[in-house]
Amino acid sequence: MSLNGQIFSLPREIKVLIGVFVIVLSIGFFSGLLFVGETSSANPNGIEEQYLGNEHDEDAKVMKFKKSEKEMLSLVHSHVLSMSIIFFLLALIVSITKLKRQLKMFLMVEPLVSVVLTFGGLYFLWTGILWMKYIVMFSGTLMTLSFLLSVLIILKQLLQKTV
């Protein structure tokens, strides 16, 4: 059974449900990114400071302390679990869109790999492997771009009559 393009044959009420779900999911995802921007300045040094603290910087506007192991394990645990569910559900929807096989596979698998790299990278950064901040930044950016592209493709194909 081929799933490619099945999104076009879905009943209207299922298309509406998927569309509303993807929009609400996007609001949650991008509001989370706004939070990341506020807490870490969305750059590698800001990421390092967020998790390792800045108590050595006497000129810091906001004093930050190194996260505890409990905080880090909680952050990694909750984000890996929740984001794996988010990206699994999004991948199921992407699986029924009409796309070239390679692009579809990339959009379905890449965000899950990036979840592991991003949050695993944060944990390794916290343990003192400072170059992981670049992996975190790269994988987080790639995860976000994959999410955005998947959402745009889904919404576009939901609005199309047929191909």
* Whether the predicted pLDDT of 4 surpasses 80: yes
| Burial status of residue 27 (CB atoms within 10 A of its CB: 0-12, 13-18, 19 or more) | exposed
DSSP state of 66: P
* Separation between Cα atoms, residue 148 and residue 16, nearest integer Å: 19
Q: Which of 140, 135, 132, 127 is nearest to 68 (CA)?
A: 127
Lowest average pLDDT, out of 36-40, 130-134, 152-156, goes to 36-40
* Separation between Cα atoms, residue 153 and residue 24, nearest integer Å: 16
Tell me the pLDDT band of 41, cut-offs 50, 70 and 90.
Answer: low
Contact yes or no for 4/99 (Cβ under 8 A): yes
Q: Could you report the per-residue pLDDT of 74-90, keeping only the tens digit for each?
A: 999 999 999 999 999 99
Contact yes or no for 86/25 (Cβ under 8 A): yes
Tell me the pLDDT band of 5, cut-offs 50, 70 and 90.
Answer: confident
* Separation between Cα atoms, residue 111 and residue 109, nearest integer Å: 6
Tell me the pLDDT band of 17, cut-offs 50, 70 and 90.
Answer: very high
| Burial status of residue 57 (CB atoms within 10 A of its CB: 0-12, 13-18, 19 or more) | exposed
Predicted model pTM: 0.89
Residue 16, token pair as written in the block: 């509406």
